[in-house]
Structure 1
Amino acid sequence: MINIYPVFHNKKQYLDLLLLADEQESMIDRYLERGDMFVLSDNNEVKASCVITEEGAGVYEIKNIAVYPQFQRQGYGKKLISFLLEHYKTQCHTMLVGTGDSPITISFYKNCGFVYSHRIPNFFIDNYDHPIFEDGKQLKDMIYLKISKSR
């Protein structure tokens, strides 16, 4: 049985999971405590987590969403996205997510209903202390995608 629940304390107990989506702990520290954290478990086994922040004026940003590798491509990430959209539906008019320029990741978000918003050039080069690679490609720009609802 799938259960999604908030984590209010000791969020770093899930650091191994958080590092799957953001591989530098100092970057996670920038948003972890100010964000809302949720964990998804299935049959009492943790499968995925996410951290979302309120950016003001009805804008929320998914800062971190990760599924353990052995549970990927089983719908857990999509369930978390659906949960977040429902959970924040009354106060959120735009849900943002920033990611590296990786076709697999961007395709996942587009399948969840996100569309291209904007790009921050050299984000990964300027903000990380080491090169970040995904699918053999060095990440440079942060690609932002969004879901917006009309008011």
Structure 2
Amino acid sequence: MMQDLFQLHTPDAAELRSPYYQSLLLEADPSADALDVHPGETVILALTRLDGLPVAVLVAGRTEHGMEILNLSVHADFRRQGLAGRLIREFLHGQSEMVRVCTGSTSFPALALYQKNGFRIQGVDPDYFVVNYDSPIYEDGIQLRDRLILRWNPS
């Protein structure tokens, strides 16, 4: 059996303000709102290397829509190893209410990841990224315009 090279960690809001976590959060969402974490209202899960260096983080919180995954990011050197899916499954384990997540319509890997973990598309916010972000965002040469809303329901 292969030794697990990553361990689950639950950083507090102060730890989340460290430069390494901040850069991870901004990779997933380049807006300053990505860094706005409210203690007591959020669930923060991270995967760290055995030496403690964080390589992936999930931030979820209660919004007017219920529980919502607000940010999910994996360091570029550690992608495609199942870490994001592991954090999603850890977060969803034991959830008894609907969970929502939003992603860009051109964020194809993220869309596939969420659907593999039981999320279904609920709706579309047309031009969300055009209206709410100061600069255009491009993914794979396509301007990101629309936000997809997905939801997961407990079985």
| Distance in 1 separating the partners of 2:154 and 2:75 | 30
Q: Measure the CA separation in 2 of the matches of 1:110 and 1:36.
A: 21
Q: CA RMSD in A?
A: 1.8
Match of 1:145 in 2: 150
Q: Is the 8 A contact 1:97 1:145 kept in 2?
A: yes
Q: Kindly report structure 1 stretches of 4+ aligned residues shifted beyond 6 Å.
A: none
Larger proportion of strand: 1
TM-score (norm 1): 0.86
Q: Identity of paired residues, percent?
A: 28
Match of 1:67 among 61, 67, 74: 74
1:32 is paired with a residue of what secondary structure? coil
Give the C-alpha shift of residue 122 in structure 1. 1.3
**Shift in Å at residue 101 of structure 1?**
0.6
| Number of aligned residue pairs | 144
Structure 1 spans left out of the alignment, 5+ residues: none
Distance 1:61 1:135 in 2: 26
Alignment of 1:1-151 (within 5 A): 1=4, 2-10=6-14, 11-13=16-18, 14-25=21-32, 27-29=33-35, 31-33=36-38, 34-44=41-51, 45-55=53-63, 59-86=66-93, 88-89=94-95, 92-102=96-106, 103-149=108-154
CA shift for structure 1 position 55? 2.2
Deviation at 1:127, TM superposition (A): 1.0
Gaps of 5+ in 2: none
